[in-house]
Amino acid sequence: MSRPLPPFAELLAQCSTSAVHLETRDVYAVDEEDQDLKAWRAGGLASVEDRSAWWGPFHDSVADAVDRGVTVQRARAVSLPATEYIRFEHACTPRNVEAGEDVRWLSRDLALGLLLPAHDFWLFDGRLIRWHHFAGDGTHLRDELDDRLGFAEQAAAAFAAVWDRAVPHAEFMLD
């Protein structure tokens, strides 16, 4: 199951059809010195139109994949009222959308009855999972690759279930 982990950009570059990301945590650790977080807290997050202020290698990778015809989707299951981190993430999401991701949000209340994995993941072409392991405080511990077909099918089903109930970013209100 576990094998050497290529960089995310390489995994996305190898995609031919789809890359989907399921996020289910309400807190992800972020460096208190992060410039975007500081700007957001001060009410001055750079506008999505000012690409020079925020566009980076991740956005290049997503845009390149979308330009090749890869569908890139992200679904977030979140608790409401939202944590500070989720409010920050929501404010930054137009950047993901600008890069070409389709992003949807699902209030945890509307996720009742769904069987969701214990870990966030990326699923590439419906066959390769990049599981994310986090500590309770949201600190990223490690990632691992998993190409077991049964697990990939379960991850795809979990993502699809969230996606079907989720609300597009532009329509999702945190309050």
Task: Take residue 106 and report the two structure tokens written for it.
Answer: 């699902």
Pull the structure tokens for residue 68.
């090749």
The verdict on residue 116 lying in a domain is: yes
20, part of any domain: yes
Tokens of 31: 């460096």
Residue 115 has pLDDT above 70, yes or no: yes
Tens-place pLDDT, residues 52-89: 999 999 999 999 999 999 999 999 999 999 999 999 99
DSSP string, 94-144: HHHHHHT-EEEEEEGGGGTT----SSEEEEETTTEEEEEEE-TTS-EEEEE
Q: Calculate what percentage of the chain has a pLDDT beyond 70.
A: 98
Contact of 108 with 78, CB cutoff 8 Å = yes
In a domain, 2, yes or no: no
Share of the chain above pLDDT 90, in %: 94
Residue at 47 is within a domain: yes
User: Which pLDDT does position 27 carry in this prediction?
Assistant: 95
Q: Is residue 3 part of a domain?
A: no
pLDDT at 2: 52
pTM of the model: 0.95
The boundaries of the domain holding residue 114 are 8-171
Domain-located, residue 16 = yes
Give the burial string for 2-27 (b: 16+ CB within 10 Å, else e): eeeeeebeebbeebeebbbbbbbbbe
Q: 126-149 burial by CB neighbour count: b if 16+ within 10 A, else e?
A: bebbbbbebeeeeeeeebebbeee
Q: Can you give the pLDDT at residue 175?
A: 78
Q: What is the CATH number of the domain that holds 132?
A: 3.30.870.10
In total, how many domains does the chain have? 1
Residue 118 falls inside a structural domain: yes
Mean pLDDT of 97-121: 97
- What integer best gives the mean pLDDT of the chain? 95
Instruction: Indicate if the pLDDT at residue 131 is higher than 80.
Output: yes
For the segment 16-39, what is each residue's pLDDT rounded down to a tens digit? Answer: 999 999 999 999 999 888 999 999
Question: Considering the domain boundaries, does residue 151 fall inside one?
Answer: yes
